[in-house]
Amino acid sequence: MKKRYWLVASFWAGMTLLVACESKKAESTQASSDSLKIEQTAFGKISDSTQATLYTLKNANGMEVKISDFGGTIVSWTAPNKDGKYEDITLGCDSLAGYQKGVPYFGALIGRYGNRIAKGQFTLEGKTYTLAKNNGANALHGGLKGFDKVLWTATPIAGEEPALKLTYTAKDGEEGYPGSLSIEVTYTLTKDNSLKIDYKATTDKATVVNLTNHAYFNLKGGLNSDILDHEVTLNADKFLPVDNTLIPTGELRPVAGTPFDFTKPFKIGARINDTKDEQIKFGLGYDHCWVLSDSSSNLKLAATVTEPSSGRVLEVFTTEPAIQFYTGNFLDGTITGKGGTIYKHRFGLCLETQHYPDSPNQAKFPTTVLKPGQTYQTSTVYKFSVKK
């Protein structure tokens, strides 16, 4: 009898321990799940009193990316240095009001056409379309009210790899572009400290599309110094020379023997002031499109940036054929950013994955035309790691 009682007691003790363990595991899983929930906070009111929202994506490593539905803007993005310290590595503003003052596309989604279109016009299927000239004689980044200045519809997707899906429909004739364009952009923060951006679009009329993101990076942390010591590698053996209004001439020029050769790591500051080079003079530094050596639509490594003092490394992968490398040449100390920091000359760099600038006017460039029944679809991944 005692033996039977002991067996029963042992059985129930074991069951109690098992339940306790499972309960503790469930609590741990719940805590982990809770920590990865997407936070939503008010981000200010747009001029028509519509409320903008800020969404915070977090992964288990501690990386955080804050994105607003206003312009699909990456407002902040933390990454670890070689000591494990997470710091914000993107330029931006503390509030919606800052972005509404006309900052230079900090962290925003760009469209309907990223980069420049010559003389603000193009001809498609025999019809000429006229766009706003918002960059001298040219159209830039979608016009006076491009996708960076509209309110997107946001759908947060919680999980171990949290995501934010943004949708917007640009009307036929919006900013001069033909066709009602339905766009879907999804930001996904992955377990390996990457931010993946998936772009998708369809149209009801032939149009041109070239979507990208315009994040300004400074991997040093603190966002209060220039990026001239950052080392850059671009997997591109050609670039697009431009005229004095930064419109491509149509030539694909080899980078070999020029200040545009980043096929091996070079500090940005090493040749950026080489005014003997006409292209450096035209761009006031680097503000050009590099043609990737791998022109396929596969996801491939396009660029690597290393900041020696912090050890931060940024790798950019894309399905696009080109990348615009811009070194903050037009930052001039007139913009006050996050935390009251004044953004001075070359305080940030951009790596905008895309098709070629002015493609609608240059038949030899890869086409950016999207027709009804087709789906525009591209992906870009920004991956962070540390070099100790």
pLDDT at 101: 84
Q: Which residue has the tokens 């390996």?
A: 192
What percent of the chain is modeled with pLDDT above 90?
87
Please calculate the CA angle 322-326-328 and round it to the nearest 5 degrees: 165
Q: How far is 84 from 318, CA to CA, in rounded Å?
A: 27
Class of domain 41-386 as given by CATH: mainly beta
3-state DSSP assignment of residue 327: coil
Q: Above 50 in pLDDT, residue 26?
A: no
Asked whether 211 and 387 are in contact (CB, 8 A), the reply is no
Listed range (31-45, 196-210, 306-320, 358-372) with the worst mean pLDDT: 31-45
Give catalytic residues, as residue numbers.
Answer: 214, 352
Listed range (5-19, 53-67, 368-382) with the worst mean pLDDT: 5-19
Q: How far is 65 from 78, CA to CA, in rounded Å?
A: 7
Asked whether 338 and 322 are in contact (CB, 8 A), the reply is no
pLDDT at 102: 80
**Which token pair is 149?**
């200045």
* Domain extent listing, the chain: 41-386
pLDDT at 27: 37
Q: How far is 133 from 362, CA to CA, in rounded Å?
A: 18
Q: How far is 127 from 104, CA to CA, in rounded Å?
A: 31
pLDDT at 14: 45
| pTM for this predicted structure | 0.90
Mean pLDDT of 98-113: 94
Tens-place pLDDT, residues 78-87: 999 999 999 9
pLDDT at 48: 78
